Amino acid sequence: MRFADKVVVVTGASRGIGKEIARAFAAEGAKVACVATTENGANATASEIGNGAKGYACDVSDSAAVDSMIESVVADLGTPAVLVNNAGITKDTLILRMKDEDFDRVINVNLKGAFNCIRAVAKPMMKARYGRIVNLSSVIGLHGGAGQANYAASKAGVVGLTLSVAKELGSRNITCNAIAPGFIETDMTEDLPAEFREHVEKTAPAGRLGTAADIAPAVLFFSSEESAYVTGQTLTVDGGLFL
Ligand code: NAP
């Protein structure tokens, strides 16, 4: 019960990796604020995981909506000890076909969304002189991906954001780290071509794609007391695919 009575905000908690992260926190005693674009999605996870969890509908790319969502979390549950910036989208296509709006939307959700949430929790966390921030990057942000210029740029940006937040807020006992997952079985990867899946299964030493349950324990480590002396790091969790 490493998170007994701690308030944890998880964005993108309605599905996939975020839902599993929210479940893992609640299982260790946290009161989880489950954030998703719709009330139904956010509330469904909150009622499933229990332990005082509450759902919040919020588009993380909208800074005013994020500020008011964090204000509500503080009023309803208390000051967040942990923020997990997990909300993310893809709009993959080749550069020559990529529309301005495809580029902008992915940057606005994946990168600016993380920034919006960090800025909103920074004040209460600084006041509490405690905080753990964990950002979801991607192996694509570290290595690039054909057809993913927008996504790769957003996830590389998340690494730079993580480093800067670690430097700026470290003296207030706030750490900031990132996880770079490989290919994980969720809605985001359900359309991967069969040949690509086979390639991952053959190439990764782990011999398979990852699951959300492979990612959550790494997020919980960076969110715990045990990682007090670890900050600004990006941990790849990809079954060895990019070794
Ligand atoms: P997913 O199954 O597609 O779920 C995405 C989640 O993000 C959903 O809960 C969705 O909420 C939420 N979301 C999307 N846009 C949002 C917005 N504007 N505001 C608030 N919430 C929003 O994705 P996933 O595979 O679990 O990925 C989770 C994170 O891990 C993402 O940041 C992704 O880039 C990263 N990642 C995933 C993989 C992978 O292989 N799956 C690999 C590397 C990194 P709604 O249900 O309301 O739409």
Query: What's the helix, strand, coil split of the chain in %, to 5?
Result: 50, 15, 30
CA of 203 to the centre of ligand 1 (A): 25
Domain that holds residue 108: 7-237
154 assigned to some structural domain: yes
- Other beta carbons less than 10 A from residue 88's beta carbon: 25
Q: Is 1 inside a domain boundary?
A: no
pLDDT score of 52? 97
pLDDT of residue 195: 95
Cβ(187) to ligand 1 under 6 A? Answer: yes
Please indicate whether residue 18, judged by its CB atom, sits closer than 6 Å to ligand 1: yes
36 in any annotated domain: yes
Per-residue pLDDT of the chain (243 residues; tens, 9 = 90+): 999 999 999 999 999 999 999 999 999 999 999 999 999 999 999 999 999 999 999 999 999 999 999 999 999 999 999 999 999 999 999 999 999 999 999 999 999 999 999 999 999 999 999 999 999 999 999 999 999 999 999 999 999 999 999 999 999 999 999 999 999 999 999 999 999 999 999 999 999 999 999 999 999 999 999 999 999 999 999 999 999
Number of domains into which the chain is organized: 1
User: Is any ligand 1 atom within 6 A of the Cβ of residue 10?
Assistant: no
Give yes or no for residue 239 CB within 6 A of ligand 1. no
Whether residue 113 lies inside any domain: the answer is yes
119 CA distance to ligand 1 middle (Å): 20
The pick from 188, 211, 214, 241 for probing ligand 1's pocket by mutation, whose C-beta has the most ligand atoms within 8 angstroms, reads 188
Query: Which distant-in-sequence residues (6+ apart) come within 8 Å of 199 by Cβ?
Result: none
pLDDT, residue 69, reads: 98
CATH number at residue 179: 3.40.50.720
Q: Report how far ligand 1's centroid is from the alpha carbon of 66 (Å).
A: 17
Residue 178 C-alpha to ligand 1 middle, in angstroms?
15
- Tell me whether residue 209 is in a domain: yes
Ligand 1 centroid to Cα of residue 12, in Å, is 5
Residue 198 backbone phi and psi in degrees, to 5: -60, -40
93 contact partners, CB below 8 Å, separation of at least 6: 102, 147
Query: Could you give the residue numbers annotated as active site?
Result: 151
Is the minimum distance from the CB of 88 to ligand 1 under 6 angstroms? yes
Does 162 reside within a domain?
yes
Residue 220 lies in a domain: yes
- pLDDT score for 223: 98
Query: Locate tokens 């909506």: which residue?
Result: 65
pTM above 0.85, yes or no: yes
Is any ligand 1 atom within 6 A of the Cβ of residue 61? Answer: yes
Question: Is residue 242 included in any domain, yes or no?
Answer: no
Q: Are strands 80-85 and 54-57 parallel, antiparallel or unpaired?
A: unpaired
